[in-house]
């Protein structure tokens, strides 16, 4: 059965989808994207993802698409691809559209290109065992709060992690642990869960906020305060959080063990609480 995708108002087989070589997403990475997860056919925190999409569209001044319409598209893709009642990942991308190549925006504006697809979820990482990570310099631009399709620095760091046989790269800017290439990063220091504060240097991760909300709801000490690369060696625990990773314990950094070298109690408890929201 051919996968069905959405492109500019139509549902069609993926191999029939055609995007112009003059699309500004192709030429300039001029667009945004979202990734939302469905558990048993029901989306988790989809409204929050679409609100972030709307903020990204506004930040890039991309007009002509209402982010709330992506909800119907996402649900329809689940149904058309046989994912009703199943776990899946929906990818949504909106670019500024097709226009002759100029660095400035098309004038008058053109219709955006709207694309979406659904895929089964495959994870090679087991939270019962935890994962290894490396550290890498944060070479991204200064608007990391926008979920832009311009991901080359993330890809370079993620490839370095893959080559090292680990799950993720922790991005370091001016000594501060910011986030991963596609995850948020948390540390546990002296009984407190910490993560980098919201700013233009990190993505306002949906799962990051869920973890912070769970900490607040269940009385787990927490704070949004920076920690540094030199702090990693003294962390009681480290863990990742993201749409595909959920809550994933980090058990080693650059081949050095974190804490006891096994998943810690804070990450395990937060994963349990997270699953209570998704089941």
DSSP β-ladder status, 237-242 and 184-189: antiparallel
| Integer Cα distance of 221 and 237 in angstroms | 14
Distances (CA, A) of 31 to 79, 97, 146: 26, 9, 10
Neighbouring C-beta atoms of residue 188, cutoff 10 Å: 22
Nearest by Cα to 202 from 170, 231, 168: 170
Catalytic residue among 14, 86, 129, 147: 147
| Integer Cα distance of 220 and 214 in angstroms | 8
For this structure, is 147 an active site residue? yes
206-210 contacts, C-beta under 8 A, 24 or more apart = 206/45, 206/48, 206/49, 206/52, 206/243, 207/241, 207/242, 207/243, 207/245, 207/246, 207/247, 207/274, 208/184, 208/241, 209/48, 210/45, 210/241, 210/274, 210/277
| Integer Cα distance of 129 and 20 in angstroms | 44
Instruction: Point out the residues that are catalytic.
Output: 147
């Amino acid at each position: 059965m051919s996968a069905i995708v959405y492109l500019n108002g139509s549902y069609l087989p993926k191999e029939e989808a055609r995007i112009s070589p003059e699309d500004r997403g192709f030429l300039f990475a001029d667009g945004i994207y979202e990734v939302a997860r469905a558990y048993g056919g029901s989306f988790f925190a989809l409204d929050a993802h679409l609100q972030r999409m709307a903020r990204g569209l506004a930040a890039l001044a991309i007009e002509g698409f209402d982010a709330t319409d992506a909800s119907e598209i996402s649900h329809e893709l689940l149904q058309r691809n046989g994912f009703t009642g199943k776990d899946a990942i929906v990818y949504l991308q909106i670019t500024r559209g097709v226009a002759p190549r100029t660095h400035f925006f098309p004038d008058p504006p053109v219709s955006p290109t709207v694309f979406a697809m659904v895929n089964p979820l495959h994870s090679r990482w087991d939270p019962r065992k935890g994962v290894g990570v490396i550290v890498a310099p944060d070479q991204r631009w200064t608007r990391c709060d926008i979920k832009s399709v311009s991901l080359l620095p993330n890809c370079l760091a993620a490839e370095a992690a893959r080559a090292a046989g680990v799950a993720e790269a922790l991005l370091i800017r001016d000594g501060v642990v910011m986030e991963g290439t596609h995850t948020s990063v948390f540390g546990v220091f002296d009984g407190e869960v910490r993560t980098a504060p919201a700013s233009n240097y990190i993505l306002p991760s949906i799962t990051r906020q869920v973890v912070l909300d769970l900490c607040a709801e269940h009385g787990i000490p927490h704070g949004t305060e920076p920690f540094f690369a030199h702090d990693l060696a003294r962390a009681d625990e480290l863990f990742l959080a993201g749409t595909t990773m959920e809550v994933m314990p980090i058990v080693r950094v650059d081949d050095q063990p974190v804490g006891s070298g096994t998943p810690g109690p804070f990450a395990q408890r937060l994963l349990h609480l997270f699953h209570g929201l998704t089941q």
